[in-house]
Chain A
Amino acid sequence: METFYQAMRRQGVTRRSFLKFCSLTATSMGLGSAFVPRIAQALETKPRTPVIWLHGLECTCCTESFIRSAHPLAKDAILSLISLDYDDTIMAAAGHQAEAILEEIMEKHKGEYIVAIEGNPPLNEDGMFCFPGGEPFVEKLKRVSADAKALIAWGSCASWGCVQAAKPNPTRATPVHQVILDKPIIKVPGCPPIPEVMAAVITYMVTFDRIPELDRQGRPKMFYGQRIHDKCYRRPHFDAGQFVETWDDEGARKGYCLYKVGCKGPTTYNACSTVRWNGGVSWPVQSGHGCIGCSEDGFWDKGSFYDRVTSIPQFGIEANADQIGMTVAGGVGAAIAAHAAVSAIKSTVLKKQDLKPLDDSQNKNKENV
């Protein structure tokens, strides 16, 4: 079987360029120079890993993001030239020709290929809400995944459900890990995910032939190990207690922390604050708007993007912890006052009736005093 190196040479890549690529890959994945020969050796000896890219219920923002990766070498060399064998939205082939390629890869590389899923399958009405190539997407997903080595869930759709799974989720859009239960799944959430993160995850997998280390929720630790907040360049303003109070105030002009205008950075695991976007040009907080938490589970249903203390969805009402707490506290306070008043009246009445030794003793006490 053809190795990565052979495939690259076939595409006209010189050995010198190949070694440069190995260095660049090592650097982009945060590995030391000792890894360069290891990557080169892996690419020279391992059979290339084909990647099948499926599109379910989605907006294609993951693909839009991915083709704008700032590391063109990683993206183009590894994926366009070498590994991305099937991607129905961006491949040249179409219709029956495209589907024939899919069948061919699945047969030829049985158990070897990686399936990258963008979007998710809707399960209502037997999956009729997403119907690519004359087949419900859920069927296609199960069929293609059956012989895959591993699955990558691209974006928040595939990872968590995202906007189409937001309440009331009419199509019952379901994240991949709830449909495919018997394969390793790497979640790369974000709406869309950062292109460099996507390229690096897939490069890691095809280069080292193993999945990157994942956290408890199935996300690669190297990009989702910390929150936006942990490495935000505005963090010193948070610790100092300097906040943007309104969008046009002095704090906004000075670049203060956006926490009070609802930044979800403290509750969002992603690499935006370090990798940034558009080739490192900027990212949401840098452009003056708080993080909306797009890589977190169910972020559409977590209340306003502009509150820190947001609605608690489990209550089925638009109320946050403070509103609920203060309302109940008010109610309990009123109840206590009423209860105390009744208690006072009742003990006075009892005293007057002079019924029991309990009150006798009190009366005696009074007389004695």
Chain B
Amino acid sequence: MKSYDFDGNAPQGLGRKVTSVYVYEAPVRLWHWVTVLCIITLSLTGYFIGKPLPSVPGEATFQYVMGYIRFAHFAAGYVLAVGLVGRLYWAIVGNHHAREIILVPVWDKAWWQEFFFEIRWYLFIECYPKKYIGHNPVGQIAMASFIWATLFMCASGFALYGEGTGEGSWAHTAFNWVIVAFGNSLDVHSWHRLGMWAILLFVMIHVYAAIREDIMSKQSMVSTMISGFRMFKD
């Protein structure tokens, strides 16, 4: 795919050069923000499915609190899964930045050198950052881990969902093997919840790293995921 690569001096007349590169295509950006909303919904509702809110008074006939929470969780889960499938599809048809978080070139020696450079940068050993149009190698690893964690959450999530929809439902047919692999539905619940915490940890690090790089390495991070353009401010 074509990437709109252009150089140009910044119009401020400060002697600074601002380079802007089109990195993230619209489907990637859409996926990102849809996934953000899904993760917020899923984590909140998921937390309260495991540890429900205080009991509501009144007749059970007129209350559906847990039902609504679970509905929101399942609906957001479907959206997340569809988004993930779409994102994997876009990794095939999109530009090469759409692939870099799926297919990490761990076989490439140069990639590993850059990986350790980035580790040194994050450990304050290197003074000046390298610039990447897409993700740096550490970021690639983090993002790939996120993709795998999300795949696990979708598989275990639909396995648990399939327990409720029962024998013959698509979720039970397609994902009941997860329950069998763990041997016990309770373990799948526990690991699904642990997966939530893993993703929340990723979110903490992801947001911190993005904001920090935005400031420290003088390249746009946060706005790139909105506009699609990465700015290098030298």
Interface residues of A (CB under 8 A from B): 215-217, 221, 225-227, 230, 236-243, 245, 251, 256, 259-260, 264, 266-269, 293, 296-299, 302, 308-310, 312-313, 320-322, 324-326, 328-329, 332-333, 336, 339-340, 342-343, 346-347, 350, 355-358, 361, 364-365, 368
Contacts and interface: CB of A to CB of B under 8 A. Distances in A.
A303 B179 CA distance: 18
Given A216-B176, A296-B184, A342-B124, A243 B55 contact: yes
B120 interface: no
Nearest to A237: B60
A322 B193 contact: yes
B50 interface: yes
Given A325-B193, A346-B124, A302 B186 contact: yes
A225 B177 CA distance: 15
Interface string B181-213: 001111101110110111011001100100010
Contacts of B201: 325, 328-329, 332
B6 interface: no
Contacts of B208: 336, 339-340
B133 interface: no
Contacts of A240: 56, 60-67
B110 interface: no
Interface stretch (B34-42, B77-85, B134-142, B161-169): B161-169
Given A302-B184, A347-B216, A361-B234, A239 B55 contact: no
B46 to A, nearest CB: 10
14 contacts: A239-B63, A240-B56, A240-B63, A241-B56, A241-B65, A242-B60, A267-B186, A297-B184, A308-B51, A310-B190, A322-B50, A339-B122, A357-B234, A361-B14
A226 B234 CA distance: 63
Contact of A241 (B66, B186, B205, B215): B66
B1 interface: no
Contacts of A251: 55
B166 A217 contact: no
Contacts of A342: 124
Contacts of B65: 240-241
A325 to B, nearest CB: 3
Contacts of B105: none
Contact of A320 (B163, B167, B190): B190
B55 A241 contact: yes
B93 interface: no
Contact of A216 (B180, B187, B198, B215): B180
A296 B218 contact: no
A236 B60 contact: yes
A70 B173 CA distance: 35
Contacts of A297: 183-184
B128 interface: yes
A256 B184 CA distance: 26
B193 A309 contact: yes
Interface string B15-33: 1100000000000000000
B66 to A, nearest CB: 4
Given A251-B55, A312-B191, 19 more contacts: A216-B176, A216-B180, A237-B60, A239-B60, A239-B64, A240-B60, A240-B63, A241-B56, A296-B186, A309-B189, A321-B190, A322-B193, A322-B197, A328-B197, A339-B212, A343-B212, A355-B127, A358-B234, A365-B14
A193 to B, nearest CB: 17
A-B pairs, top 3 by smallest CB distance, nearest first, are A325-B197, A241-B65, A240-B63
A97 B194 CA distance: 57
Interface string B73-116: 00000000000000000000000000000000000000000000
A299 B189 CA distance: 14
A221 B167 contact: yes
A325 B194 contact: yes
Contacts of A293: 186
Contacts of B53: 241
A354 to B, nearest CB: 13
A356 B128 contact: yes
Contacts of B216: 343, 347
Nearest to B168: A225
A369 to B, nearest CB: 10
B63 A310 contact: no
A361 B55 contact: no
Contacts of B198: 325
Contacts of B183: 217, 297-298
Contacts of A357: 234
Given A242-B63, A324-B197, A332-B205, A264 B14 contact: no
Given A251-B55, A324-B194, A361-B15, A296 B164 contact: no
